[in-house]
Amino acid sequence: MAREFATFLGEMIRNPGEVRAIAPSSRACARLMTKGVESTTGPIVEIGPGTGSFTRALLDRGVDPERLTLLELNPRFCDELRHRFPGVRILNRSAEEIVDIGLRDVGAVISGVPLLARPDLQRRVVGRAFEVIAHDGFFTQISYASTSPLNAKMRADLGITATKRGRIWANLPPAWVYEYRRHAT
C-alpha cells in the first residue's frame, strides 16, 4: 500500500494534468465499483486503473486474470501494474481505444477516468465502450459529484440508463459510483 501511494503521489506531482485524483480509490469504493462482475461472462476492461485499486478488487472477486484487460495512459503506472498483477493484460493505451484492442462482448467496463472533469471525453469513452460491451454488460464510473457525469441528453443519445449505486464516504474525496446499462428492449 505504501509503494502504491508513493507511485501515485510521484505521478500526481509529475503529471498533474493526467493524474486528476488526489489519492488512490479506497477499498470500499473499489468494492462498490466492481460489484456484479462475478456474474458476468466475457472479458472485463478497466480503464484508467492508476495504481490498481479497482484491479485488486476485481481479482478479489474471483475474476480470472486472463479475463482482465487494463487500459492506462501513464507508462509508470503500467510498469507498476505489470509488477503487481501478473497474468493481467495491461496496455499503455487510451480508454478511447477500447474498440481497437480486439475485445467483443465485454461483460463490464470499470472506469476510473475522470469523465466529469473532462466532458469532451464522455461521448468518446462511454460511447466507444458500449460498442464492445455485451448486451447485458455494464459500465461503472466513479465521480465526485452527486449527479451522473453523463447528462440526460448524452445518456439518451447513447441509449443508456444511469443508476446511482451509492456514495462512498470512506474515500478521499468521498465519491459516488454510477452504473450505466443499455435501455431494456
Residue range 44-60, pLDDT digits in tens = 999 999 999 999 999 99
Q: Is residue 147 part of a domain?
A: yes
Is 3 contained in some domain?
no
Residue 73 has pLDDT above 70, yes or no: yes
Residue 167 clears pLDDT 90, i.e. is over it: yes
- Domain assignment present for 159: yes
pLDDT recorded at residue 12: 42
Which strands make up the sheet holding 175-182, listed edge to edge? 89-91, 68-71, 44-47, 106-111, 133-143, 175-182, 160-168
Total structural domains within the chain: 1
| pLDDT at res. 24 | 72
Closest by CA position to 114, among listed 35, 23, 44, 18: 18
Average pLDDT over residues 130-139: 98
In a domain, 7, yes or no: no
Query: Is 152 among the domain residues?
Result: yes
pLDDT at 117: 65
pLDDT value, residue 11 = 44
Looking at mean pLDDT, say which of 8-17, 30-39, 111-120 comes out highest.
Answer: 30-39
- The share of the chain scoring above pLDDT 70, in percent, equals 86
- The distance in angstroms from the start CA to the end CA of the chain is 44
- What distance in Å separates the CA atoms of residue 174 and residue 185, rounded to the nearest whole number? 35
CA distance 7 to 154: 35
Query: C-alpha cell of 138?
Result: 455494464
Identify the CATH number of the domain in which residue 93 sits. 3.40.50.150
Task: Inform me whether the pLDDT recorded for 141 exceeds 70.
Answer: yes
Q: What are phi and psi of 76, to 5 degrees?
A: -70, -40
Tell me, yes or no, whether 14 lies in a domain.
no
- The pLDDT-based confidence of 76 (bands split at 50, 70, 90) is very high
1, part of any domain: no
Please indicate, yes or no, if residue 12 is contained in any of the structural domains.
no
| Helix segments in 15-117, DSSP class H | 27-34, 53-60, 75-84
**In terms of residue numbers, what domain contains 162?**
25-182
Q: What are phi and psi of 168, to 5 degrees?
A: -110, 105
pLDDT given for residue 19 in this prediction: 46
